[in-house]
Chain A
Amino acid sequence: MGIYRYTIRRLLQAIPVLLGIITITFLLSDAIPGDPVQIMLGPSPSQAQIEAIRAKYGLNQPLYVRYGNYVWGLLHGDLGESLYYQVPVLLKIKQRLPATLLLLISSFAFAIVTAIPLGVISAKRRNKPTDHISRVIALVGVSTPSFWIGLMMILIFVYHLGWFESTGLVIPWEGPGPLIAPGNQAAALGAWTDHLVESARHLLLPTLSLGTLQMAAITRIERSSMLEVLSEDYVQLARAYGVSERTILRKHAFRNAQLPVITLIGLQITAAIGGAVLTETVFAINGMGTLIVNSIYRQDFPTIMGTTFFYGLVFVIGVIVTDISYAYVDPRVTYGEAE
């Protein structure tokens, strides 16, 4: 089977999964107790007001009609309208996504940059003190509640040392704002520098808080994957030929050990999205996570549906892209029979 046919097949396979996600989110929000109309209009609305709202959101129609309308809306890129904010859910996601995206990218960057060397060193110095230390770090990392790490870091670095900020994020690419007079390059440069420093001061603690779990998980898999590769016959053969350990590690072992690591990183992304909900709450960040939590408190069901579907869609696309890139990168992967 050619790569194009494989791509098309993977896309087709995604359709039932997406429909499943839509159905689950739709049915869950239908089961949400309490009348959304009352939440919007307060305790004593008039009959006409109730009717108007019910008609506007289509609540007076039977379940299957509403389901059909919802799917039809999704096909046109319409995720519905938030009951609380009274704006399209898609707009709300657009506003909230940058903060979450920034948090996810920076915590994965932190996790990958620290975990891969840690895992490789751990495998290289197996059962030596360095290995034990790195294993303990990894074990504690996967066993600690991320929000607790966040709280402890706020206590130390914000309250006691005052080095960093504990609330909100400053998005670096949004710029320092229109305060600078045009043409004054020195002032603009200064403002940008301040802006970026400010951004880093806000970002560092949430990054560490969320990234620790991913770092620990990646370290564990990197270590065991490296150990497995290092015991392979071809590595033994290279050793027998007198190739230096350094070269073996760099040229023979490292590359071949990365496939399970990449798979795990992919799977960790959904875990991190869940973790971001907690991190955003601890650090009072206006991201997707706090949007979801607040929507649940407010019983804002279109927002719950919209955000859940959005995450599901991102995951499905992510899996397809990963599968297809495997097929490109690794010639041993046969893009044939579905596993």
Chain B
Amino acid sequence: MATQSESDDFLSEGSSSAQEAEEPEIEARVGWRYTLSQVKRDATAMAGLFVVGLMTLMATFSFVDAELFAFLAQFETFASVGVEKYWFAKHFWVSPIAEPQGSIQLLPPVGMENQFGAGTWAHPLGTDDRGRDILVRLVYGSRIAIEVGYISTAIGLVGGVLVGAIAGYYGGWTDDVLMRAAETLYAIPFLVLVLAFMAAFGRSLMFAMIGVGVASIPTFARLIRSRVVSVREEDYVEAAEAAGVRDRNIILRHVIPNSFAPVLVQGTLQVGYSILIVAGLSFLGFGVQPPTPSWGQMLSTSKDYMLQNVWFSIWPGLAILITVVGFNVFGDGLRDALDPRLKN
């Protein structure tokens, strides 16, 4: 939950100065560069940023190896040199989806032992119910979580910012209609709304992302609207209006950039929240279908094997936990940097 106070002038200056600052001493106090330097001094936030960066890198790598290579394999030029889906994993590691012959199922991690045998370095974190390596599936599963987190947040952020900025800028009946619509979406519990959305359009991952994105529009809309209402009264907006700048340009170039700071913080936190929601959806059986690895689905499968190999459920849970902690910590750090008065 964002806790920005509404009558807060620091934030608006903080984000506007990037384009408008002419006096260097102002730029030293505010602006993106200043924000970044503040974040750099915050060790916890940097740890969060590190986790976020690492997960994003891992997800990008998995995306390239899975989707890009699968796409390239359609073309003769690439297929003839051996490019295929999971090419990297198959050549330098193990395939995250193939069920290897003769591999032992539900092995524990290295240094432990259970009824199926002792853990080996070949499978450092153990194996799942089909004898697949858990570590490789965790790494490739990061893609689904990160992809879903970013894309659904982007949908909610862009949609919410546009709705909220238009409502706040025009006021009157436009405001009433848009905010009542947002309130309507807000009234239905988040997960229930996403479930109903997926029931209507399909249970695939794509609709999970769109559903979570649409369901988060009201949060962003309410947040930016409360800022826009005060930014609208600023002199530079009035000046732009007097100069005859078109509404669209005023909203896009002046109103939104100057109201964006709390949205950025909420966006970072929302990525973590979306990852949790989509993991929950996968757990219920809505989302990515096997054999594609995803953390939520690994957790869902592992619940039937908890007594045999508990590590099968511990690893994906920890992966989700660490990733979401990363986004939350980084988001908190960003908020402290953008508004030091809230720093506790």
Contact = CB atoms under 8 A, between A and B. Distances in A.
Contact of A16 (B180, B189, B277): B180
Given A31-B200, A152-B317, A299-B199, A20 B328 contact: no
Interface string A1-23: 00000000000010011001100
A260 B180 contact: no
Interface residues of B, number: 48
Interface stretch (A88-96, A199-207, A216-224, A247-255): A216-224
A24 interface: yes
B192 A142 contact: no
Contacts of A260: 3
Contact of B344 (A33, A139, A147, A224): A224
Interface in A309-326: 311-312, 315-316, 319
Interface stretch (B53-61, B115-123, B303-311): B303-311
Interface in B265-291: 272, 276-277, 279-280, 283-284, 286
Given A147-B280, A311-B192, A17 B313 contact: no
B191 interface: yes
B266 to A, nearest CB: 14
Interface in A60-83: none
Interface string A112-126: 000000000001001
Nearest to A146: B280
A274 B189 contact: yes
A142 B321 CA distance: 9
Nearest to A272: B189
Contacts of B310: 155
A53 interface: no
B39 interface: no
Contacts of B277: 274
Size category of the A interface is 35 or more
B245 interface: no
Contacts of A144: 317, 320-321, 324
Contacts of A316: 187
Nearest to B6: A339
Contacts of B344: 123, 126, 223-224, 227-228
A28 B197 contact: yes
Contact of B313 (A13, A30, A148): A148
B321 A143 contact: yes
Interface string B289-328: 0000000100100010011001001100100110011001
B321 A140 contact: yes
A233 to B, nearest CB: 15
A296 B198 contact: yes
A151 B313 contact: yes
Contact of B196 (A13, A264, A281, A304): A304
B338 to A, nearest CB: 15
Interface of B: 1, 3, 180-181, 183-193, 195-202, 272, 276-277, 279-280, 283-284, 286, 296, 299, 303, 306-307, 310, 313-314, 317, 320-321, 324-325, 328-329, 342, 344
Given A32-B199, A151-B299, A311-B187, 5 more contacts: A154-B306, A274-B277, A278-B283, A312-B188, A315-B189
